[in-house]
Amino acid sequence: MKIISQYYGSILILGRSNAGKSTLLNTLIGKKISIISHKINTTNYSITGIYNKGSYQIKYIDTPGNIFYNNNIINSLKNNEYNYILFILDRNKWNFIENKFVKILNQTNIPIILILNKIDKINNKSILLPYINFLKNKIKFIYLFMVSAKYKLYTIDINNIICKNLPKKKHQYPKNYITNQTEEIILKEIIRESIIKYLHKELPYLIDIKVFFYKKFKIIPNKIKIFLLIKNINQKKIIIGKNATTLKLIKYRSEKSIEKFFKKKINLNIWIKIK
């Protein structure tokens, strides 16, 4: 019997908040598992996504933008726990935040792949060449990709190059495994994404989401009851909105996204409760 070699590696995705890390993760693994928004600090914990292609398996780890006080991440970098780092830049935005990343990246021996994201938004392409020269002086990298994570431009090349450079190693996850998140977490994250979209300022970050009796179900039910736990009546009024329009929008968008992810009809019953 011919034994086919397996190749495996883990990749950490780093970059400032809003650079498009979660968008890129979703594009790379071909399924939306990490929530996205135009506001900062959307991702608040590390999310794993697995890419499978034949004998290749890649574990991508999406991170929050602000990792500077996250000892787990910092130590894992110092201990060289990843095969590569994808360091994502929002176009030619480079300021003290990127410099802070460089300081951390200088403490590891992990090879860095630089991703210049959102190229669809760069009209004047002549800025690119001088910018690449600037980057060469700022940070040591082995590859540079210019992509649009949102519009899936040139992103396939990232998977291909990484596959080509993976070490021979047994796959760590079953073929159909795509994320470390449980169905309950995915459900909450999808609802959180809608809440961030329709509510302003810091309120979305103050809401706790509870899924009612979810653990009773082995698979996701068609009727889901959730509680949004908040601090006071004012917050409740804001979430409901004038003529309940805000709540309706949150419900509608959440239902559509949950249906898309779980591929079944969903009726979301949202209750708001003051803690």
Residues that bind Mg ion (CB under 5 A): 21-22, 42-43
Smaller CB separation from ligand GTP, 166 or 195: 195
Residue 244 binds ligand GTP (CB under 6 A): no
Angstrom distance (rounded) from CA 146 to CA 84: 17
Q: SS3 of 49, please?
A: strand
Q: Of these partners, ligand GTP, Mg ion, none, which one is at the site of residue 49 (CB under 5 to 8 Å by kind)? A: none
47, 113, 115, 149: which one binds ligand GTP (CB under 6 A): 149
Contact predicate 226/209, CB 8 Å: yes
Q: Which of 117, 119, 116, 113 is nearest to 140 (CA)?
A: 113
Token pair, residue 11, equals 């990749």
Contact predicate 155/149, CB 8 Å: yes
CB of 65 to ligand GTP, least distance (A): 3
Query: By CB under 6 A, which span of 34-42, 101-109, 181-189, 197-205 interacts with ligand GTP?
Result: 34-42
Sign of CA dihedral 61, 64, 68, 69: negative
Residue 148 binds ligand GTP (CB under 6 A): yes
Smaller CB separation from ligand GTP, 83 or 148: 148
69 to 108, contacts with ligand GTP by CB under 6 A?
A: none
Smaller CB separation from ligand GTP, 149 or 270: 149
CB of 61 to Mg ion, least distance (A): 12
150, 169, 171, 236: which one binds ligand GTP (CB under 6 A): 150
57, 76, 108, 117: which one binds ligand GTP (CB under 6 A): 117
Residue 37 binds ligand GTP (CB under 6 A): yes
Measured in whole angstroms, how far is the alpha carbon of residue 243 from the centre of its chain? Answer: 33
Angstrom distance (rounded) from CA 13 to CA 212: 33
CB of 55 to ligand GTP, least distance (A): 29
Question: Cβ–Cβ contacts within 10 Å for residue 71, how many?
Answer: 8
The 10 Å CB-count burial string (b at 16+, else e) for 131-161 is: beeebeeebebebebbbbbbeebebeebbee
Q: What is the DSSP letter of 176?
A: T
Q: Phi-psi bin for 66: left (phi > 0), alpha (psi -120 to 50), beta?
A: beta
Q: Of these partners, ligand GTP, Mg ion, none, which one is at the site of residue 17 (CB under 5 to 8 Å by kind)? A: ligand GTP
Query: By CB under 6 A, which span of 4-12, 33-41, 126-134, 225-233 interacts with ligand GTP?
Result: 33-41
Residue 9 binds ligand GTP (CB under 6 A): no
Smaller CB separation from ligand GTP, 121 or 136: 121
Contact predicate 159/145, CB 8 Å: no
Residue 120 binds ligand GTP (CB under 6 A): yes
Q: Which residues bind ligand GTP (CB under 6 A)?
A: 15, 17-23, 36-38, 40-43, 64-65, 117-118, 120-121, 148-150
